[in-house]
Every structure is written in C-alpha cells, then in structure tokens.
Structure 1
Amino acid sequence: MGRIHFDQDIKPLSEFRAGVASFIRQINETRRPIVITQRGKGVAVVLDVSEYEAMQEKIELLEEVQKAEAQLSMGLGISNADARAKMLLSIKN
C-alpha cells in the first residue's frame, strides 16, 4: 500500500459522495487509501480490497509471532538445535 499523499488522499465526505466513482478509480490506480473527513475530522478510510487483504494477512502473522514469543517466554518452546534434530530425523524416516 502506498503512503497517503495529504494533498490528494484526504477528502471531505461531501466531495467523496459527489465523486465516488472517480475516487474508487483513484484508489485502484494508486493503491493508496483515501481518508474521508467529516467536520474536519477523519471518520473513515477507503482502500483497495487486495490491500485490505494484505493488511489482514500481516496482522495475522504478527499475532502468531506474538503468540510464539509468549509461549517461548513461558518455557514452552524448544531450542533451534532440538527442532532441527527432530526435522532431520523425520526426513530420514
């Protein structure tokens, strides 16, 4: 996902409503989200579906990493050497 260009990607709700099709086209072409404002405050972000899915995958991966780190800190993990030995043993069998 591209970085937001503040001069192009922040739109008031009224302007977004009036030109939805062109803004959707802009999102698809630039791969940048559009921030919708109402009364000067951000109220929504519109982004490409594939960009949203990629964000969700990254979030899930980060959650798995956090879970693994928590398990390691509780002593539930095994050493790299032990894991490697188990993998090599299973490959040989």
Structure 2
Amino acid sequence: MPVRIKATEDLIPITDLRQNSARIMRRLHTERRPFVILQRGRSAAILENVQEYEKRLERLELLETVVRGLEAARKGQVLDNAQVMRRLRKIAVG
C-alpha cells in the first residue's frame, strides 16, 4: 500500500537536509516514507528510499500493463483459451 506523506513530519527544508543528511538518510531507511524537500518554503523535490522507489515503479508498470490489456479488451483484441494454448505450444516447441 502506498505510504502517504505526513505534512507535519515529512517536509524537510533543504538547509536541514544539508546540515543533517546522515540523520535524514537513517530516517529514510527506517521509516520507508518519502520526504518532501523544501526550497524557499516550497516543495522542490521528493527524497525516497531506493527500494520503495523500485517497488513504486514495478506497481506503475503493472498498472500500465493492466490498462493496456483493458484497452485491448475494449477494442475486441482478445484471444480465447484455445488460441492462447496454441500460441504457448508454438513458443514451447520453438
């Protein structure tokens, strides 16, 4: 499930990031929540744990695949079970 940013805890001024980068990186890895980096009081960037970022990309790719499949189904571009099995056999045989 996606993690929501907590406005009271997850907003970090860029000067704090510069001065306390080690502490912020520890929080990033233990809490596994993204942080919003503020520059001049406005959101400028998101700082996120690499593993969480990769999971987010995987979920996005899966959702995009589902959307493409639904679009294909809507257009009638579907295969029945027998057609799928024939294609799989061709792939398996080579």
Q: What TM-score do the two structures reach when normalised by structure 1? A: 0.81
Matched, 1:68 2:50: no
Unaligned runs of 5+ in 1: none
How far did residue 84 of structure 1 move? 7.2
Residues of 2 paired with 1:86 and 1:68: CA distance? 15
Secondary structure at the residue paired with 1:60? helix
Cα distance change of structure 1 residues 86 and 70 upon mapping to structure 2, 3 Å threshold: closer
Show CA shifts across 1:34-69 (max 9, x none): 110111111111111110000000000011011111
Provide the identity percentage.
Answer: 34
Query: What does residue 13 of structure 1 align with?
Result: 14
1:1-93 to 2 correspondence within 5 Å?
2-78=3-79, 82-83=80-81, 87=85
- After TM superposition, the runs of 4+ consecutive aligned structure 1 residues lying more than 4 A away are 84-87
Identify which range, 4-13 or 19-28, moves more after superposition: 4-13
Residues of 1 paired with 2:75 and 2:83: CA distance? 22
Q: What TM-score do the two structures reach when normalised by structure 2? A: 0.80
Cα distance change of structure 1 residues 3 and 86 upon mapping to structure 2, 3 Å threshold: closer
Residues of 2 paired with 1:67 and 1:44: CA distance? 30
Unaligned runs of 5+ in 2: 90-94
Residues of 2 paired with 1:54 and 1:5: CA distance? 20
How far did residue 85 of structure 1 move? 8.6
